[in-house]
Amino acid sequence: MPQHTPSRTLAESSMTSMWTFIRAFMRDRQRIGTVAPTSSSAGRHMARLGDVAHSKRVVEFGPGTGAITQQILKELPTDGRLWAYEVHEPFIDHLRATIHDPRLTVLPESAEHIRDLRAAEAPEGFDAIICSIPFSLLPPPVTSGILAAAADSLRPGGKLVALQYHPTYLRPIMREHFREVHGVWHLRNIPPTLLLTGLNPGSPS
């Protein structure tokens, strides 16, 4: 079975994640967006909204220290694959040092490049994209560019699940790129968070 944090206790590992996160937030508030990692319960909820348990090719945008990544890997079938786009170097190092799972590939670049990944690894499109990029802090054209690339890269019926703290910002932008958008609040997280699910526009009705 895949091994997570093999040489450390769970408590040590989550303290390290917390410090890595706080340091990252102090350095680049806009791109990191929040001071603490997402709760495991919200990560699990996102993986379930994305139907990861029945997926073979999943992409994560903004894995950070891996809070959601770990939950995706728990749900993902043993023959599934997960590609995770991360731009903050200390998070990339942290992910590589703490998650040892052959299904995971950490990509040290922006999520905007997902179309290239589709061409190389999943010409039929990805089953799900799980995203926690802090869109409400980024310029709107950057958000729109990333969502357009995501919609182009999902298979028909594939889903994008996005975590957002801002209650109203993202839904109208998602509606420009996805056929249906549904929101649900997840309260077991600090702070409570909105989970938005968008269906690929090519999905059958």
Ligand X SMILES: C[S@@+](CC[C@H](N)C(=O)[O-])C[C@H]1O[C@@H](n2cnc3c(N)ncnc32)[C@H](O)[C@@H]1O
List contacts with ligand X (CB under 6 A). Answer: 31-34, 37-38, 61-64, 67-68, 85-88, 91, 110-111, 132-134
Report in angstroms how near the CB of residue 189 gets to ligand X at its nearest. Answer: 9
Report in angstroms how near the CB of residue 129 gets to ligand X at its nearest. Answer: 11
Report in angstroms how near the CB of residue 64 gets to ligand X at its nearest. Answer: 2
Cα atoms in the 13 Å half-sphere on the side-chain side of 40: 8
In the complex with ligand X, which residue's Cβ is closer, 74 or 203? Answer: 74
In the complex with ligand X, which residue's Cβ is closer, 61 or 83? Answer: 61
Report in angstroms how near the CB of residue 14 gets to ligand X at its nearest. Answer: 11
- In degrees, to the nearest 5, what angle opens at C-alpha 98 toward C-alphas 191 and 96? 105
In the complex with ligand X, which residue's Cβ is closer, 40 or 203? Answer: 40
